[in-house]
Structure 1
Amino acid sequence: MSRWRALQESDPAFDNPFLSPEFTITVGELRDAVQVAILYDGPEIVGFFPFERHPLGIGKPVATGLTDAQGLIHAKDIEIDARRLIKECGLAVYEFDHLVSGQPLLGRRHERHPSPIIDLRDGYEQYTAALKEHSGKTYKTTLAKSRKLQRDAGTLRHDFAITDLEPLRTLLGWKTDQYRRTGRTDRFAHRWIVELVERLLATQSESFAGVLDMVYVDDLPVAGHFGVRTRTTLAGWFPAYDTSFAKYSPGLIHHLAMAEQAAAAGIEVIDMGRGQKEYKDKLKNGELEVAEGRVATASAAAGVHWMMRVPARKTRATVMANPLLLKTADKALKTYGRFRTVIQR
């Protein structure tokens, strides 16, 4: 694990907790599909390639569908043949949707997407100064709503980097309600994902930790977030809030409080992850880049995979790139979510 850590910390592109050894090890304890290829140059280890092996030789990132940073952790300037790598791993295809920059797996045809960040490298005060300049209305309105929330409901308190299970379960309950309300699949209906989050919360070290924080009003939980961090990067993962406080914009109140506490704790970047969300546009002051695509060998399994996945992915990309189509799709999902909620009741 020390060599993995050294390679990860040697390149800023790898400074994401989803690329940390602890994350892969913890997921591997819960999912038999997780494997790690170790790359050597003579006696020296020069890379680690974590992946999941699925039927028909299909390779996917560890905890596929959950992570916002994927790829190979490797020494600088080494030459790696991507197709040979996946073939040596016994894979026909390796598909990804959040591949980080500078990867030997990255090709010219792979689709690039922005991944918004809160850049705290110059401190929280500089961040809020930039926020006032580019999203001044959002910043002022959020502060005003925070004051109104306190007038209406009580004193505001923010607990950062706590490790109690009770507030975590409150947060996951909010998130489940959000998934159902918006027509999305409830990730926490899968027991292994709940256990993964609980185990990550219990993992606390200087170089990697689960981070839970909650905003309370008069000791009543209002909003919160669970993510994971390295020494200097916090990955935004599961933010949620109590919808009974929705008129106060508790998510924005929480994110500003989280950014302030994270900066004080030495966090330099909060990676909010790929995806078009209004709150990300309001809060971001920078962007990283991630890629989506696949590396494939010349095989029948790769051909079948292409027919099943690539056209659908391109259709989704078209929808995501068109504001009108995206708005229509999102509205349809929310309508389905309301209908499903009524049926369940």
Structure 2
Amino acid sequence: MDISVYRPGELTAADRAVWSALQSKARLNGYPELANPFLSPEFTLAVGRTRRDVRIAVLHEDGEPAGFFPYQRTSTGVGRAVGLGLSDCQGMVHRPGFICDTQELLRACDLAIWEFDHLVKGQAPFEAGASGTFPSPVMDLDQGYDVYIRRLRTTSPVFTRRTMTKERKLGRDAAQVHYVHDERDPAVLRTLLGWKSAQYRRTGRSDRFAHDWINQLVHQLFHTRSESFAGILSVLYAEGRPIAAHFGLRTERVLSCWFPAYDPAFGKYSPGLILFLRMAEAAAADGIAYLDLGRGQKGFKDSLKTRELFVSEGWVTRRHPVAIGHRAHRAPVRALRNTVLSRPELFGPADRLLKRMGKIRSGG
């Protein structure tokens, strides 16, 4: 196995084409999860244009590219999955049956450790380092929207009935209700990001869009379009203005849900839930096989899902003092967070405290 490491701008057009082709054939090759947009070259290259620490290892077998391993690296040799904390799917895009030696890979990348929190299934070289596995709900659309809705009426009948009732009420109370699946107006994207920032602050969470590089990344992805990848802004309008929106990433068969938000003035109609059903209908018509809702405990995800994928968190390491120090620092934080998230008796009070703090911070 031969390993070459590149900065994002150094990756050749030929290598990018091979990478995209592996994603396009992922389902036929028996690795459907590799078709996720967060594993695409476009996502890695966009992160690379906003951060200087992105690298790509190209693994060759018999003189041909067999795997693509994107990562971020600190000056001390701590490696992270590209977009760690933002990306909902991580790992190596590879040929069928390709297996690499993780120690050889880490040495070639000059990494003491590589950390992940959404490792996709089927990454045998890295799965030995997983410290936990978590569900990532999906909405299956490969048989069409009508089949999905019939299934939803069986699995979540109260949720489905209430959402559709609210949609009809919205149609009666507001003028000009309509949906745009692929909105190209940057002003609407700015509106969505403003809603999302306010939501983060209101609920006591850290505002991701307070970081310039994340803002730049989202805007770059909004303008990124190829045959196999696009940033998609989906918007529900009423009375001539947006009331709910979502920005996500799509490949040929997968739409990854990323940043949804809505105008609180229309909250009684649950416009975000109406938006998700409209997205599912339009995505199914566009040939999308499923919407990936992403890891995380959210009631609406359980109501919308048809099944679950699984992603892992953890790290692979070399015997190196930097790796020991990084794990000692990160492991307790991860363990505490996962304990709180997995136990309702802990999550409820913690969530209420964060919201009270957010209300104070927002001047409420």
Give the TM interval when normalised to the shorter protein.
over 0.9
228-237 or 198-207, which moves further after superposition?
198-207
- 2:90 is the alignment partner of 1:70: yes
- 2:109 is the alignment partner of 1:94: no
User: Residue in 2 aligned with 1:41?
Assistant: 61
Q: CA deviation digits over 1:230-253, x for unaligned, max 9?
A: 011000000000011111111111
Listed as ranges, the gaps of 5+ residues in structure 1 are none
192-201 or 234-243, which moves further after superposition?
192-201
Offset at residue 326 of structure 1 (A): 1.2
Q: CA deviation digits over 1:230-285, x for unaligned, max 9?
A: 01100000000001111111111110011101111111110010000011111111
1:2 aligned residue (12, 17, 37): 17
Offset at residue 323 of structure 1 (A): 1.3
CA distance in 2, matches of 1:290, 1:323: 21
CA contact (8 A) 1:94 1:296 kept: yes
2:105 aligned residue (82, 85, 109): 85
User: Residue in 2 aligned with 1:111?
Assistant: 132
User: Residue in 1 aligned with 2:50?
Assistant: 30
Offset at residue 321 of structure 1 (A): 1.3
The code of the aligned residue for 1:170 comes to: T
Offset at residue 108 of structure 1 (A): 6.7
* % identity of equivalent residues: 48
CA distance in 2, matches of 1:276, 1:83: 34
User: Residue in 1 aligned with 2:318?
Assistant: 297
- 2:65 is the alignment partner of 1:50: no
1:18 aligned residue (38, 42, 46): 38
Listed as ranges, the gaps of 5+ residues in structure 2 are 1-15, 27-31
302-311 or 150-159, which moves further after superposition?
150-159
CA distance in 2, matches of 1:10, 1:59: 28
Task: Indicate how the Cα distance of structure 1 residues 109 and 185 shifts in structure 2: closer, same or farther if over 3 A, else same.
Answer: closer
Superposed CA RMSD: 1.2
The code of the aligned residue for 1:115 comes to: S
CA contact (8 A) 1:157 1:219 kept: no
CA contact (8 A) 2:236 2:275 kept: yes
2:221 aligned residue (197, 200, 206): 200
- 2:197 is the alignment partner of 1:176: yes
User: Residue in 1 aligned with 2:253?
Assistant: 232
CA distance in 2, matches of 1:87, 1:328: 44
1:223 aligned residue (244, 252, 265): 244
**What SS class does the counterpart of residue 56 from structure 2 fall into?**
strand
CA distance in 2, matches of 1:195, 1:164: 16
CA contact (8 A) 1:13 1:101 kept: yes
1:187 aligned residue (194, 208, 215): 208
TM-score, normalised to structure 1, is: 0.97
Offset at residue 62 of structure 1 (A): 1.1
The code of the aligned residue for 1:10 comes to: K
CA distance in 1, matches of 2:227, 2:97: 28
50-59 or 90-99, which moves further after superposition?
50-59
TM-score, normalised to structure 2, is: 0.92
CA distance in 2, matches of 1:141, 1:336: 31
Offset at residue 101 of structure 1 (A): 0.5
CA contact (8 A) 1:179 1:186 kept: yes
